[in-house]
Amino acid sequence: MKRSIKRLMAGFTLVELMIVVVILGILAAVAIPAFTRYVKRSKTSEAQGNIAKIYQGQLTYYQRNLERGGTLFVNASALPATAPGSAKFPANVDQWNANSDWANIGFSLDSAHYYQYTSPGGATGFTARATGNLDGDGTYSTFERTGTYANGEIQGSQIIITNELE
């Protein structure tokens, strides 16, 4: 008696491979935008943290200035001077320290950053602002927190975010 030995065919059919490709395509279509959004959200933490530092610096400066008879908040111009884009601004501690307004509120950045900072102020209040353009499309995201002097007190607002992930 002769037995026939069946050879087992190993491998996948074309249909099985195409099903796997379709499943991977669906997963990528869902995962890539979610990942991009996650990366942008992580970059916004820089702005929120630095706005808090600028806000506290303005309050401290005002209290010190008040003790000396002054009643003004710092009017700090935009730094860096160029508009933000998708690339980080290089670290440049000297530009922050050379600007007396930023030095007065004790704010400087010693590492690369995505946002441009400004803090216009005067006798009645100030605004701490960060402006960014994380994807370089010309639409800016803005983070702001204001402090207003009224009736002998400084009233602070919550951070107002416009186009957070633009």
Residues 137 and 166: beta-carbon distance below 8 Å: yes
For 58, phi then psi, to 5°, come to -65, -45
- In the chain, what are the helix, strand and coil shares in percent, each to the nearest 5? 40, 20, 40
Pairwise pLDDT comparison (6 vs 42), residue with the higher score? 42
Among 13, 7, 29, 46, CA closest to 130: 46
Per residue in 63-83, pLDDT (tens digit) is 998 888 888 899 999 999 999
For 115, phi then psi, to 5°, come to -110, 150
What is the reported pTM? 0.82
| CA pair distance 117, 21, nearest whole angstrom | 46
Assign 165 a pLDDT band (cuts: 50, 70, 90). Answer: confident
The yes-or-no verdict on residue 8 having pLDDT over 80 is: no
Assign 40 a pLDDT band (cuts: 50, 70, 90). Answer: confident
Contacting residues for 83 by C-beta, under 8 A, at least 6 apart: 116, 133
Assign 10 a pLDDT band (cuts: 50, 70, 90). Answer: confident
Domains of the chain: which residue ranges?
47-162
- H or E, element range at 161: strand 160-162
Assign 6 a pLDDT band (cuts: 50, 70, 90). Answer: low
Residue 2's pLDDT is what? 52
| CA pair distance 157, 148, nearest whole angstrom | 9
Q: What is the mean pLDDT of the chain?
A: 90
Tokens representing residue 16 in the block: 């099985």
